[in-house]
Amino acid sequence: MRPTAHRPPDRPASSSTALCSARLCRRRRPSRDTGLAGLLGPPRERPYWASPPCLSPGLPVPPRKLARAGDLLLIAVVRQALNWSADSLDHLEAAGHVCILKDALDFESPSEISDFIKAESLEAAMALHLYRGGRLLPGHGIPFGIIFGGTDLNEDVKQGEKNKVMGKVLEEARFAVAFTESMKETAQRQWPHAKDKIYVQSQGIGTVPNTTFNWNTFLQRSEINQSADNLHVFLLICGLRQVKDPLYLVDAFSEWHQEEPSVYMVIVGPEVDPVFTREVKAKVKRTPGVRLIGEMAREDLHAVVKNCFAVVNSSVSEGMSAAILEAMDLEVPVLARNIPGNAAVVKHEVTGLLFSDPQEFVRLAKRLGGDPALEKQIVANGREYVRMYHSWQVERNTYGHLVRMLEGSSED
Protein backbone atom coordinates (compact mmCIF):
# COMPACT_ATOMS: atom_id res chain seq x y z
CA MET A 1 0.00 0.00 0.00
CA ARG A 2 1.39 3.38 -0.95
CA PRO A 3 1.42 6.41 1.39
CA THR A 4 -1.58 8.68 0.97
CA ALA A 5 -0.92 11.02 -1.94
CA HIS A 6 -1.91 14.63 -2.21
CA ARG A 7 -5.57 14.70 -3.15
CA PRO A 8 -6.29 16.75 -6.25
CA PRO A 9 -9.00 19.38 -5.83
CA ASP A 10 -12.52 18.17 -6.45
CA ARG A 11 -13.90 18.85 -9.88
CA PRO A 12 -16.42 21.65 -10.13
CA ALA A 13 -20.03 20.71 -9.67
CA SER A 14 -22.29 21.21 -12.66
CA SER A 15 -24.30 24.40 -12.61
CA SER A 16 -26.88 26.16 -14.71
CA THR A 17 -24.50 28.96 -15.61
CA ALA A 18 -23.41 29.04 -19.24
CA LEU A 19 -19.62 28.73 -19.41
CA CYS A 20 -19.10 28.72 -23.16
CA SER A 21 -18.15 32.00 -24.78
CA ALA A 22 -18.41 33.25 -28.33
CA ARG A 23 -14.65 33.19 -28.74
CA LEU A 24 -12.15 30.77 -27.26
CA CYS A 25 -8.43 31.38 -27.03
CA ARG A 26 -5.78 28.96 -28.24
CA ARG A 27 -4.15 27.15 -25.36
CA ARG A 28 -0.46 27.91 -25.32
CA ARG A 29 1.65 24.75 -25.54
CA PRO A 30 4.70 24.65 -23.24
CA SER A 31 8.12 24.62 -24.83
CA ARG A 32 9.34 21.19 -25.94
CA ASP A 33 12.93 22.09 -25.23
CA THR A 34 12.82 21.80 -21.44
CA GLY A 35 10.87 20.06 -18.71
CA LEU A 36 8.13 17.47 -19.09
CA ALA A 37 6.83 18.86 -22.38
CA GLY A 38 10.26 18.38 -23.90
CA LEU A 39 10.26 14.71 -22.90
CA LEU A 40 6.86 13.92 -24.37
CA GLY A 41 7.92 14.08 -28.02
CA PRO A 42 6.32 15.83 -30.99
CA PRO A 43 2.88 17.29 -30.24
CA ARG A 44 1.22 15.23 -32.99
CA GLU A 45 2.10 12.05 -31.06
CA ARG A 46 0.02 13.01 -28.06
CA PRO A 47 -3.36 14.62 -27.44
CA TYR A 48 -3.32 18.37 -27.22
CA TRP A 49 -5.68 21.28 -27.41
CA ALA A 50 -5.50 22.51 -30.98
CA SER A 51 -7.43 25.37 -32.48
CA PRO A 52 -10.97 25.39 -31.14
CA PRO A 53 -13.70 25.15 -33.79
CA CYS A 54 -14.36 28.89 -33.79
CA LEU A 55 -10.75 29.53 -34.88
CA SER A 56 -10.63 26.85 -37.59
CA PRO A 57 -10.19 28.27 -41.12
CA GLY A 58 -13.38 28.58 -43.11
CA LEU A 59 -15.65 27.64 -40.21
CA PRO A 60 -17.33 30.72 -38.74
CA VAL A 61 -18.87 30.63 -35.30
CA PRO A 62 -22.43 29.37 -35.77
CA PRO A 63 -24.98 31.87 -34.49
CA ARG A 64 -27.01 31.02 -31.43
CA LYS A 65 -30.42 30.16 -32.88
CA LEU A 66 -32.48 29.16 -29.86
CA ALA A 67 -34.00 31.59 -27.46
CA ARG A 68 -33.51 28.93 -24.79
CA ALA A 69 -31.19 25.98 -24.34
CA GLY A 70 -32.47 22.88 -26.11
CA ASP A 71 -33.11 19.38 -24.87
CA LEU A 72 -30.32 17.00 -25.91
CA LEU A 73 -29.92 13.23 -26.05
CA LEU A 74 -26.50 11.79 -25.22
CA ILE A 75 -25.90 8.19 -26.30
CA ALA A 76 -23.04 6.14 -24.88
CA VAL A 77 -21.79 2.86 -26.32
CA VAL A 78 -21.67 0.53 -23.35
CA ARG A 79 -21.85 0.96 -19.63
CA GLN A 80 -18.18 1.62 -19.02
CA ALA A 81 -18.48 4.65 -21.29
CA LEU A 82 -21.34 6.12 -19.30
CA ASN A 83 -19.06 7.73 -16.70
CA TRP A 84 -17.25 9.70 -19.36
CA SER A 85 -20.52 10.54 -21.11
CA ALA A 86 -21.83 11.77 -17.79
CA ASP A 87 -18.96 14.26 -17.82
CA SER A 88 -20.16 15.50 -21.20
CA LEU A 89 -23.62 15.77 -19.73
CA ASP A 90 -22.19 17.94 -16.93
CA HIS A 91 -20.59 20.23 -19.51
CA LEU A 92 -23.80 20.63 -21.50
CA GLU A 93 -26.04 21.09 -18.49
CA ALA A 94 -23.67 23.78 -17.28
CA ALA A 95 -24.49 25.65 -20.51
CA GLY A 96 -28.19 25.44 -19.68
CA HIS A 97 -29.19 22.39 -21.70
CA VAL A 98 -31.48 19.66 -20.43
CA CYS A 99 -29.84 16.33 -21.24
CA ILE A 100 -30.86 12.67 -21.21
CA LEU A 101 -28.09 10.06 -21.08
CA LYS A 102 -28.88 6.67 -22.63
CA ASP A 103 -26.92 3.52 -23.36
CA ALA A 104 -26.89 2.66 -27.07
CA LEU A 105 -27.75 -0.90 -26.09
CA ASP A 106 -31.12 0.36 -24.86
CA PHE A 107 -32.20 0.74 -28.49
CA GLU A 108 -32.56 -2.26 -30.79
CA SER A 109 -33.48 -0.29 -33.91
CA PRO A 110 -33.61 3.27 -35.32
CA SER A 111 -37.40 3.17 -34.99
CA GLU A 112 -37.09 2.81 -31.22
CA ILE A 113 -34.87 5.85 -30.96
CA SER A 114 -37.22 7.76 -33.30
CA ASP A 115 -40.11 7.07 -30.93
CA PHE A 116 -37.96 8.11 -27.98
CA ILE A 117 -36.94 11.38 -29.64
CA LYS A 118 -40.57 12.23 -30.34
CA ALA A 119 -41.78 11.21 -26.89
CA GLU A 120 -39.16 13.39 -25.17
CA SER A 121 -39.40 16.26 -27.71
CA LEU A 122 -35.63 16.18 -28.14
CA GLU A 123 -33.98 18.87 -30.27
CA ALA A 124 -30.46 17.50 -30.76
CA ALA A 125 -28.21 14.55 -29.94
CA MET A 126 -24.61 13.51 -29.38
CA ALA A 127 -23.22 9.99 -29.54
CA LEU A 128 -20.03 8.41 -28.25
CA HIS A 129 -18.70 5.88 -30.80
CA LEU A 130 -19.25 6.51 -34.49
CA TYR A 131 -20.71 3.11 -35.31
CA ARG A 132 -22.54 1.72 -32.31
CA GLY A 133 -23.89 5.07 -31.15
CA GLY A 134 -23.78 7.16 -34.31
CA ARG A 135 -25.65 4.75 -36.59
CA LEU A 136 -28.80 5.30 -34.52
CA LEU A 137 -29.04 9.04 -35.20
CA PRO A 138 -29.34 9.83 -38.95
CA GLY A 139 -32.76 10.36 -40.48
CA HIS A 140 -34.62 11.57 -37.42
CA GLY A 141 -34.73 15.27 -38.31
CA ILE A 142 -32.59 16.50 -35.41
CA PRO A 143 -28.99 17.74 -35.64
CA PHE A 144 -26.33 15.65 -33.95
CA GLY A 145 -22.61 15.42 -33.24
CA ILE A 146 -20.29 12.45 -32.81
CA ILE A 147 -17.42 11.65 -30.43
CA PHE A 148 -15.07 8.93 -31.70
CA GLY A 149 -14.58 6.13 -29.21
CA GLY A 150 -11.57 4.06 -30.28
CA THR A 151 -12.81 0.71 -31.55
CA ASP A 152 -14.78 2.56 -34.23
CA LEU A 153 -11.54 3.90 -35.75
CA ASN A 154 -9.27 1.00 -34.80
CA GLU A 155 -11.47 -2.04 -35.44
CA ASP A 156 -14.88 -1.29 -37.02
CA VAL A 157 -13.26 0.70 -39.82
CA LYS A 158 -11.73 -2.54 -41.15
CA GLN A 159 -15.17 -4.00 -41.85
CA GLY A 160 -16.59 -2.82 -45.16
CA GLU A 161 -20.27 -2.50 -44.21
CA LYS A 162 -19.52 -0.78 -40.90
CA ASN A 163 -17.09 1.59 -42.64
CA LYS A 164 -19.82 2.54 -45.13
CA VAL A 165 -22.36 3.13 -42.36
CA MET A 166 -19.93 5.32 -40.41
CA GLY A 167 -19.19 7.39 -43.51
CA LYS A 168 -22.89 8.09 -43.96
CA VAL A 169 -23.22 9.06 -40.31
CA LEU A 170 -20.42 11.60 -40.74
CA GLU A 171 -22.14 13.08 -43.78
CA GLU A 172 -25.08 14.10 -41.63
CA ALA A 173 -23.22 14.91 -38.39
CA ARG A 174 -22.64 18.60 -37.62
CA PHE A 175 -19.26 17.80 -36.01
CA ALA A 176 -17.06 14.92 -34.85
CA VAL A 177 -14.59 14.99 -31.97
CA ALA A 178 -11.34 12.99 -31.85
CA PHE A 179 -9.35 12.62 -28.64
CA THR A 180 -5.97 12.83 -30.40
CA GLU A 181 -4.48 14.28 -33.56
CA SER A 182 -3.66 10.72 -34.65
CA MET A 183 -7.33 9.71 -34.37
CA LYS A 184 -8.32 12.76 -36.39
CA GLU A 185 -5.83 11.85 -39.14
CA THR A 186 -7.17 8.28 -39.24
CA ALA A 187 -10.73 9.52 -39.63
CA GLN A 188 -9.75 12.01 -42.34
CA ARG A 189 -8.02 9.27 -44.36
CA GLN A 190 -11.07 7.07 -44.18
CA TRP A 191 -13.68 9.76 -44.84
CA PRO A 192 -12.09 12.74 -46.61
CA HIS A 193 -15.52 14.35 -47.09
CA ALA A 194 -15.70 14.92 -43.32
CA LYS A 195 -12.27 16.49 -42.79
CA ASP A 196 -13.62 20.00 -42.16
CA LYS A 197 -15.90 18.90 -39.34
CA ILE A 198 -13.45 16.84 -37.24
CA TYR A 199 -11.94 18.54 -34.19
CA VAL A 200 -9.38 17.46 -31.59
CA GLN A 201 -10.24 17.65 -27.89
CA SER A 202 -8.51 15.34 -25.45
CA GLN A 203 -10.49 14.01 -22.53
CA GLY A 204 -10.71 16.35 -19.58
CA ILE A 205 -9.92 14.55 -16.34
CA GLY A 206 -11.25 15.16 -12.85
CA THR A 207 -11.16 12.57 -10.07
CA VAL A 208 -13.39 12.36 -7.01
CA PRO A 209 -12.25 9.55 -4.67
CA ASN A 210 -14.63 8.62 -1.88
CA THR A 211 -12.94 9.87 1.29
CA THR A 212 -14.85 7.39 3.46
CA PHE A 213 -13.93 4.35 1.38
CA ASN A 214 -12.52 1.45 3.42
CA TRP A 215 -9.57 -0.20 1.66
CA ASN A 216 -9.44 -3.13 4.06
CA THR A 217 -13.09 -3.91 3.40
CA PHE A 218 -12.36 -3.89 -0.33
CA LEU A 219 -9.49 -6.32 0.16
CA GLN A 220 -11.72 -8.64 2.18
CA ARG A 221 -14.39 -8.46 -0.54
CA SER A 222 -11.65 -9.38 -3.04
CA GLU A 223 -10.66 -12.35 -0.85
CA ILE A 224 -7.20 -10.96 -0.28
CA ASN A 225 -6.40 -11.95 3.29
CA GLN A 226 -3.14 -10.15 3.89
CA SER A 227 -2.08 -7.00 5.67
CA ALA A 228 -2.58 -3.95 3.45
CA ASP A 229 0.86 -2.67 4.43
CA ASN A 230 2.62 -5.55 2.68
CA LEU A 231 0.50 -5.72 -0.47
CA HIS A 232 1.15 -4.63 -4.03
CA VAL A 233 -2.21 -4.56 -5.81
CA PHE A 234 -2.20 -4.05 -9.58
CA LEU A 235 -5.58 -2.78 -10.77
CA LEU A 236 -6.94 -3.55 -14.25
CA ILE A 237 -10.06 -1.46 -14.98
CA CYS A 238 -12.09 -2.52 -18.00
CA GLY A 239 -15.42 -3.75 -19.24
CA LEU A 240 -15.36 -7.49 -19.79
CA ARG A 241 -15.13 -7.71 -23.56
CA GLN A 242 -12.50 -9.16 -25.85
CA VAL A 243 -11.01 -5.89 -27.10
CA LYS A 244 -9.96 -5.09 -23.51
CA ASP A 245 -8.15 -8.47 -23.29
CA PRO A 246 -8.32 -8.74 -19.48
CA LEU A 247 -6.84 -12.26 -19.54
CA TYR A 248 -3.69 -11.20 -21.43
CA LEU A 249 -1.53 -10.95 -18.29
CA VAL A 250 -3.29 -13.47 -16.06
CA ASP A 251 -0.99 -16.49 -16.47
CA ALA A 252 2.25 -14.52 -16.22
CA PHE A 253 0.97 -12.59 -13.22
CA SER A 254 -0.13 -15.77 -11.45
CA GLU A 255 3.35 -17.25 -11.86
CA TRP A 256 4.80 -14.10 -10.30
CA HIS A 257 2.26 -14.26 -7.44
CA GLN A 258 3.36 -17.78 -6.61
CA GLU A 259 6.94 -16.47 -6.28
CA GLU A 260 5.86 -13.32 -4.40
CA PRO A 261 2.52 -13.88 -2.59
CA SER A 262 2.21 -10.16 -1.78
CA VAL A 263 1.39 -9.20 -5.40
CA TYR A 264 -2.19 -9.41 -6.65
CA MET A 265 -4.02 -8.39 -9.80
CA VAL A 266 -7.60 -7.19 -9.36
CA ILE A 267 -9.81 -6.80 -12.45
CA VAL A 268 -12.67 -4.33 -11.99
CA GLY A 269 -15.41 -3.58 -14.48
CA PRO A 270 -18.90 -4.26 -15.82
CA GLU A 271 -19.98 -7.48 -17.53
CA VAL A 272 -20.36 -6.19 -21.09
CA ASP A 273 -20.11 -9.39 -23.15
CA PRO A 274 -22.01 -12.20 -21.35
CA VAL A 275 -20.25 -15.05 -23.18
CA PHE A 276 -16.78 -13.59 -22.69
CA THR A 277 -17.61 -12.74 -19.07
CA ARG A 278 -18.21 -16.42 -18.34
CA GLU A 279 -14.80 -17.23 -19.82
CA VAL A 280 -13.11 -14.56 -17.69
CA LYS A 281 -14.83 -15.70 -14.49
CA ALA A 282 -13.89 -19.33 -15.10
CA LYS A 283 -10.25 -18.44 -15.79
CA VAL A 284 -9.89 -16.13 -12.79
CA LYS A 285 -11.53 -18.65 -10.45
CA ARG A 286 -8.78 -21.18 -11.08
CA THR A 287 -5.88 -18.69 -11.22
CA PRO A 288 -3.99 -17.87 -7.98
CA GLY A 289 -3.21 -14.20 -7.37
CA VAL A 290 -5.92 -12.80 -9.66
CA ARG A 291 -9.30 -11.49 -8.51
CA LEU A 292 -12.39 -10.23 -10.31
CA ILE A 293 -14.69 -7.51 -8.95
CA GLY A 294 -17.83 -6.22 -10.60
CA GLU A 295 -18.73 -2.68 -11.58
CA MET A 296 -18.16 -0.02 -8.91
CA ALA A 297 -19.42 3.48 -8.25
CA ARG A 298 -17.04 6.02 -9.75
CA GLU A 299 -16.05 7.63 -6.44
CA ASP A 300 -15.32 4.22 -4.90
CA LEU A 301 -13.30 3.17 -7.95
CA HIS A 302 -11.19 6.31 -7.70
CA ALA A 303 -10.57 5.48 -4.03
CA VAL A 304 -9.43 1.98 -5.02
CA VAL A 305 -7.07 3.51 -7.59
CA LYS A 306 -5.55 5.78 -4.93
CA ASN A 307 -4.83 2.79 -2.71
CA CYS A 308 -3.48 0.36 -5.30
CA PHE A 309 0.18 0.08 -6.27
CA ALA A 310 -0.33 0.59 -10.00
CA VAL A 311 -3.01 0.70 -12.69
CA VAL A 312 -2.68 -1.68 -15.64
CA ASN A 313 -4.07 -1.50 -19.18
CA SER A 314 -3.83 -4.60 -21.40
CA SER A 315 -6.25 -3.62 -24.20
CA VAL A 316 -5.82 -4.70 -27.79
CA SER A 317 -7.25 -1.35 -28.90
CA GLU A 318 -7.87 1.99 -27.18
CA GLY A 319 -9.02 5.43 -28.21
CA MET A 320 -7.94 7.19 -25.04
CA SER A 321 -8.06 5.31 -21.75
CA ALA A 322 -9.76 7.35 -19.04
CA ALA A 323 -8.53 4.84 -16.46
CA ILE A 324 -4.91 5.62 -17.36
CA LEU A 325 -5.45 9.36 -17.17
CA GLU A 326 -7.37 9.13 -13.90
CA ALA A 327 -4.56 7.06 -12.38
CA MET A 328 -2.08 9.75 -13.41
CA ASP A 329 -4.33 12.41 -11.88
CA LEU A 330 -4.47 10.41 -8.63
CA GLU A 331 -0.67 10.07 -8.61
CA VAL A 332 -0.58 6.32 -9.22
CA PRO A 333 1.90 4.64 -11.62
CA VAL A 334 0.61 3.22 -14.92
CA LEU A 335 1.75 0.13 -16.82
CA ALA A 336 0.11 -0.05 -20.25
CA ARG A 337 0.24 -2.34 -23.24
CA ASN A 338 2.22 -0.75 -26.03
CA ILE A 339 -0.52 0.04 -28.55
CA PRO A 340 -1.04 3.37 -30.37
CA GLY A 341 -3.87 4.58 -28.15
CA ASN A 342 -1.88 3.99 -24.97
CA ALA A 343 1.41 5.25 -26.40
CA ALA A 344 -0.35 8.53 -27.20
CA VAL A 345 -0.67 9.28 -23.48
CA VAL A 346 2.06 7.14 -21.88
CA LYS A 347 5.67 8.06 -22.62
CA HIS A 348 7.81 5.10 -21.55
CA GLU A 349 9.75 5.78 -18.34
CA VAL A 350 8.43 9.35 -18.30
CA THR A 351 4.70 9.25 -17.57
CA GLY A 352 4.40 5.48 -17.24
CA LEU A 353 5.75 2.15 -18.45
CA LEU A 354 4.85 0.41 -21.73
CA PHE A 355 5.06 -3.36 -22.21
CA SER A 356 4.81 -5.47 -25.35
CA ASP A 357 4.21 -8.93 -23.84
CA PRO A 358 3.28 -10.46 -20.45
CA GLN A 359 6.88 -11.29 -19.58
CA GLU A 360 7.95 -7.70 -20.14
CA PHE A 361 5.06 -6.56 -17.96
CA VAL A 362 6.32 -8.68 -15.07
CA ARG A 363 9.88 -7.40 -15.51
CA LEU A 364 8.71 -3.78 -15.51
CA ALA A 365 6.37 -4.32 -12.56
CA LYS A 366 9.22 -5.81 -10.53
CA ARG A 367 11.46 -2.92 -11.53
CA LEU A 368 8.84 -0.40 -10.48
CA GLY A 369 8.41 -2.09 -7.11
CA GLY A 370 12.15 -2.01 -6.46
CA ASP A 371 12.91 1.49 -7.70
CA PRO A 372 11.22 4.22 -5.58
CA ALA A 373 12.97 6.96 -7.57
CA LEU A 374 11.45 5.71 -10.84
CA GLU A 375 8.03 5.47 -9.24
CA LYS A 376 8.29 9.01 -7.88
CA GLN A 377 9.40 10.37 -11.26
CA ILE A 378 6.61 8.64 -13.19
CA VAL A 379 3.95 9.75 -10.72
CA ALA A 380 5.07 13.39 -10.79
CA ASN A 381 5.33 13.49 -14.59
CA GLY A 382 1.97 11.78 -15.05
CA ARG A 383 0.19 14.23 -12.79
CA GLU A 384 1.79 17.19 -14.57
CA TYR A 385 0.92 15.74 -17.97
CA VAL A 386 -2.77 15.49 -17.06
CA ARG A 387 -2.71 19.00 -15.66
CA MET A 388 -1.20 20.41 -18.88
CA TYR A 389 -3.07 18.47 -21.54
CA HIS A 390 -6.31 17.15 -20.05
CA SER A 391 -7.95 20.18 -18.49
CA TRP A 392 -11.52 19.49 -17.44
CA GLN A 393 -12.36 23.18 -17.80
CA VAL A 394 -10.99 23.39 -21.35
CA GLU A 395 -13.06 20.34 -22.28
CA ARG A 396 -16.15 22.03 -20.83
CA ASN A 397 -15.53 25.18 -22.87
CA THR A 398 -15.06 23.14 -26.04
CA TYR A 399 -18.30 21.19 -25.73
CA GLY A 400 -20.14 24.32 -24.71
CA HIS A 401 -19.01 25.80 -28.03
CA LEU A 402 -19.62 22.72 -30.17
CA VAL A 403 -23.16 22.29 -28.96
CA ARG A 404 -24.02 25.62 -30.58
CA MET A 405 -23.66 23.80 -33.88
CA LEU A 406 -26.61 21.69 -32.82
CA GLU A 407 -28.89 24.61 -32.03
CA GLY A 408 -31.57 25.29 -34.55
CA SER A 409 -33.05 23.00 -37.17
CA SER A 410 -31.10 21.44 -40.02
CA GLU A 411 -32.85 23.80 -42.40
CA ASP A 412 -31.73 26.96 -40.60
Q: What are phi and psi of 246, to 5 degrees?
A: -65, -15
**Does 72-204+393-404 match 215-390 in CATH topology?**
yes
Say if domain 72-204+393-404 classifies as CATH 3.40.50.2000.
Answer: yes
Partnered with residue 127 across adjacent β-strands are 75, 146
Superfamily of domain 215-390: Glycogen Phosphorylase B; (3.40.50.2000)
- What pLDDT, in 10s, does the model give residues 247-280? 999 999 999 999 999 999 999 999 989 999 999 9
Mean pLDDT rounded to a whole number for the chain: 80
Q: What is the rounded CA–CA span in Å between residue 141 and residue 50?
A: 31
From the CB of residue 296, how many other CB atoms can be counted at a distance below 10 Å? 18
| Range with the poorest average pLDDT among 3-12, 70-79, 101-110 | 3-12
Is the model more confident about 202 or about 19?
Answer: 202
Is the model more confident about 42 or about 194?
Answer: 194
Percent of the chain with pLDDT over 90: 53
- What pLDDT, in 10s, does the model give residues 8-56? 333 333 322 222 222 222 223 333 334 544 454 433 333 332 333 332 3
Contact by Cβ (8 Å): 294, 270: yes
Q: What is the rounded CA–CA span in Å between residue 363 and residue 339?
A: 18
Give me the pLDDT at residue 8, please.
Answer: 37
- What pLDDT, in 10s, does the model give residues 344-358? 899 999 999 999 999
Contacts of 158 (CB under 8 A, 6+ apart): none
373: alpha, beta or left, given left = phi > 0 and alpha = psi -120 to 50? alpha
Contact by Cβ (8 Å): 181, 340: no
The whole-number average pLDDT for the span 108-131 is 87
All structural domains of the chain with their residue ranges:
72-204+393-404, 215-390
